């Protein structure tokens, strides 16, 4: 199934919904009340965009913290390459970690153009259990889309399986450029570090993502996105490798977005009412 990569090396997220055609005519079906405001599956594309950008930022903050405030972000396997300068001011409380891409676009190792800054404020040691860090932005753009808002990330320590996990409260807006409106994304995520936590090489990192968010599209339609099977994402895969999202739209009804069962490929399935569509995430 098709996956969308959330973290450092994700591709720009858009979804082509092939053959995703709804028949609306003089004969109404049981699904018409859904499909008339279903945006032809456009919410699936927006979901990928917001998950991608949000998780990119959290991962970059983790990488920046691991450099111990070095002047350049060059940790093995990072997506940023030499684009970002990292400063970590521990003389103030709360501490301030800044990832600065400069005022003009820099093409990072994942092929995305970034400019502006990501700002992380935190107290204590960044990776201590119970520590909280708040992520904001200063004129931060990715491929000319501006990300604004705030994320609060809390290190919850380890779960019963010994895995480090975080809660992420998100309130982000992605401004799509002049005349294209914006996507608003709010809610809570749990981010569990599946592999790679103890190594310095980012390429072996993978995560499980769960939780519920509300996505409001540029056209004003709102969709509640509830992860019913945790999304599996890996640094070395450009797609979401597994997981299922249950989606409730403006008029109710449930759609299901299925990313598959663990293969790193580009196929997904979207089920609306009694109809299932094969879609391609790009």
**pLDDT (tens digit per residue) in 195-237:** 888 776 777 888 899 999 999 999 999 999 999 999 998 877 7
Domain boundaries, given as residue ranges, for the chain: 15-281
Q: What is the CA radius of gyration of the chain?
A: 19
What Å distances lie between residue 177 and 111, 180, 183, 218, CA to CA?
Answer: 19, 6, 11, 11
pLDDT digits (tens, 9 = 90+) for 148-185: 999 999 999 999 999 999 999 999 999 998 778 999 99
Work out the mean pLDDT of the chain and round it to a whole number: 79
pLDDT beyond 70 at 81: no
Helices (H), ranges, the chain: 32-35, 42-66
* Residue 115 reports pLDDT greater than 90: yes
């Amino acid at each position: 199934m098709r996956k969308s990569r959330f973290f450092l090396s994700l591709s720009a997220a858009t979804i082509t919904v092939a053959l995703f055609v709804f028949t609306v005519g003089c004969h109404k079906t049981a699904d018409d009340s859904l499909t008339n405001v279903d945006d032809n599956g456009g919410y699936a594309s927006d979901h990928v965009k917001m998950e991608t950008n949000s998780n990119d930022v959290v991962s970059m903050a983790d990488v920046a913290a691991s450099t111990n405030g070095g002047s350049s972000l060059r940790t093995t396997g990072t997506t940023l390459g030499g684009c970002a300068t990292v400063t970590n001011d521990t003389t103030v409380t709360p501490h301030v970690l800044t990832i600065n891409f400069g005022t003009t676009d820099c093409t990072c190792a994942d092929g995305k153009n970034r400019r502006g800054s990501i700002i992380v404020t935190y107290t204590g040691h960044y990776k201590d259990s119970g520590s909280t860090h708040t992520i904001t932005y200063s004129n931060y753009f990715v491929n000319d889309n501006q990300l604004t808002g705030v994320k609060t990330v809390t290190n919850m320590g380890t779960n019963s399986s010994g895995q480090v996990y975080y809660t992420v409260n998100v309130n982000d807006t992605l401004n799509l450029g002049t005349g294209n409106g914006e996507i608003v994304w709010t809610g809570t995520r749990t981010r569990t570090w599946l592999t790679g936590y103890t190594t310095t090489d980012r390429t072996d990192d993978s995560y499980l993502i769960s939780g519920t968010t509300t996505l409001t599209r540029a056209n004003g339609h709102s969709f509640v996105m509830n992860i019913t099977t945790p999304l599996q994402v890996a640094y070395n895969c450009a797609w979401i490798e597994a997981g299922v999202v249950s989606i409730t739209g403006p008029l109710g009804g449930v759609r299901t977005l299925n990313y598959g069962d663990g293969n790193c490929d580009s196929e997904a399935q979207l089920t609306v009412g009694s109809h299932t569509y094969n879609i391609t995430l790009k």
